[in-house]
């Protein structure tokens, strides 16, 4: 299934048409400061956020996020304003994975570029999301596995060290990665080139149909498991329709937010 990512959040498929609907005077934001000339955010009741900001040097950017439940611990920084390099952490603080994600609260993370050379942001109740771009939905993990090509472990060093390992393994159905991180680390891309597009394989746990207040369009808001909890946006026309136990596999924009724009947000550093 291929779709326009804006429709995965119930917005209009055309960015300019969506922008024209935004109630700019009524949007929440922050006053001008040393880093940003402005930050304004449209917060939709359905959990679809649009952030518009201009940095102090006059660079204008936008980001989108799917806002779900606060469920993971992260630490990191921004490679450029609006795109964060975040490590998702296990409960003991060890790193689970690294991602490049869109954020709707760019004032909450330092900007360092490729490597952090100072303090990083740390949040214990973070909201990681995803916006479907080009994905396929399978009715079950079994259906997903039928069309996958497993990786043989028979002659691998890991198999020789542990005979209990299976002869074949699959990448998924719970997996997420940011390909642009590899380009960034190798020097093939600079911080200004990177994208929050990611590879996502997730099992749906809870599926809700919500309505975008700005457009009146419905979309699927899915609590899913990609190795850790994530909230995924899918277009209402997705077929087969997602349900608990479905597997979503493909490309998605990865997103994150501290929940700063929520009415009940409490600053962890206050």
Q: Tell whether 123 is covered by a domain.
A: yes
Model confidence at 113, in pLDDT bands (50, 70, 90)?
confident
Q: Tell whether 163 is covered by a domain.
A: yes
φ, ψ of residue 2 to 5 degrees: the values are -115, 140
Instruction: Report how many domains make up the chain.
Output: 1
Q: Tell whether 266 is covered by a domain.
A: no
Say whether pLDDT at 143 is over 80: yes
Q: Tell whether 264 is covered by a domain.
A: no
Q: Give the model's pLDDT for residue 153.
A: 55
* The two three-digit tokens of residue 121, written as one number: 């942001």
Say whether pLDDT at 159 is over 50: no
Angle, alpha carbons 211-125-228 (nearest 5°): 75
How many Cβ atoms are within 10 Å of 148's Cβ, its own excluded?
Answer: 15
Please provide the average confidence, as pLDDT, over all residues in the chain.
92
Q: Give the model's pLDDT for residue 226.
A: 98
Q: Tell whether 167 is covered by a domain.
A: yes
* The two three-digit tokens of residue 189, written as one number: 């891309």
Q: Tell whether 262 is covered by a domain.
A: no
Model confidence at 264, in pLDDT bands (50, 70, 90)?
confident
Mind listing the pLDDT tens digit for each residue in 173-231? 999 999 999 999 999 999 999 999 999 999 999 999 999 999 999 999 999 999 999 99
Range of the domain at 196: 5-257
Query: Which stretch of 53-67, 117-131, 140-154, 237-251 has the lowest confidence by average pLDDT?
Result: 140-154
Q: Tell whether 268 is covered by a domain.
A: no
Integer Cα distance of 87 and 94 in angstroms: 9
Q: Tell whether 209 is covered by a domain.
A: yes
* The two three-digit tokens of residue 96, written as one number: 């689970």
Candidates 177, 225, 217; CA nearest to 8 is 217
Mind listing the pLDDT tens digit for each residue in 78-97? 999 999 999 999 999 999 99
Percent of the chain as helix, strand, coil, to the nearest 5: 15, 45, 40
pTM of the model: 0.91
């Amino acid at each position: 299934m291929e779709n326009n990512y804006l429709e995965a959040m119930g917005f209009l498929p055309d960015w300019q048409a969506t922008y024209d609907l935004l109630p700019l005077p009524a949007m929440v934001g922050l006053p001008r400061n040393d880093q940003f000339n402005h930050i304004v955010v449209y917060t939709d009741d359905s959990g679809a956020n649009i952030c518009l900001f201009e940095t102090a040097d006059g660079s204008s950017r936008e980001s989108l996020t799917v806002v779900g439940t606060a469920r993971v611990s992260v630490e990191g920084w921004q490679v450029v304003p609006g795109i964060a390099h975040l490590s998702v952490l296990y409960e003991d603080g060890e790193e689970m994975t690294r991602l490049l994600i869109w954020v709707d609260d760019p004032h909450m993370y330092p900007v360092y570029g490729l490597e952090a050379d100072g303090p990083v942001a740390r949040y214990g109740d973070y909201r990681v999301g995803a916006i479907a771009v080009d994905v396929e939905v399978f009715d079950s993990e079994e259906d997903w596995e039928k069309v996958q090509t497993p990786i043989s472990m028979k002659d691998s060093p890991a198999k020789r060290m542990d005979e209990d390992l299976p002869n074949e393994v699959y990448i998924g159905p719970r997996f997420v990665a940011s390909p642009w991180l590899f380009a960034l680390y190798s020097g093939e891309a600079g911080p200004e080139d990177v994208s929050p597009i990611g590879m996502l394989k997730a099992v749906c746990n809870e599926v809700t149909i919500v309505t975008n207040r700005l457009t009146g369009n419905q979309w699927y808001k899915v609590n899913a498991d990609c190795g850790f909890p994530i909230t995924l946006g899918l277009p209402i026309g997705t077929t087969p329709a997602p349900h608990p136990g479905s597997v979503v596999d493909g490309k998605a924009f990865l997103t994150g937010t501290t929940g700063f724009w929520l009415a009940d947000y409490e600053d962890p550093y206050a």
